[in-house]
């Protein structure tokens, strides 16, 4: 469940950075799905993983994390 925790925490952080407030992980995930539709499958999978021990593809999760870091932490 670490993968789901990480993805949903990143959604929450992105929401906080862009909106200036902190919301629940499910609320942040819903916003992220709407805002970044290209990552819909990763975020939706993370929401499902919260209740299931099955993890999604690691490459997809790492891709989302790289996207999030690149969005607000340019090199």
Q: pLDDT tens track of the chain, all 75 residues?
A: 688 999 999 999 999 999 999 999 999 999 999 999 999 999 999 998 877 766 677 888 889 989 988 887 766
Is the pTM higher than 0.95? The answer reads no
| 3-state per-residue secondary structure call for 24-73 | CHHHHHHHHHHHCHHHHHHHHHHHHHCCCCCCCCHHHHHHHHHHHHHHHC
């Amino acid at each position: 469940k670490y993968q789901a925790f990480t993805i949903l925490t990143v959604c929450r952080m992105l929401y906080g950075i862009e909106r200036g407030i902190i919301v629940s992980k499910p609320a942040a995930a819903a916003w992220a799905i709407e805002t970044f539709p290209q990552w819909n499958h990763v975020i939706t999978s993370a929401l499902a993983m919260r209740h299931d021990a099955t993890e999604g593809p690691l490459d997809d999760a790492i891709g989302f994390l790289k996207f999030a870091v690149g969005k607000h932490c340019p090199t």
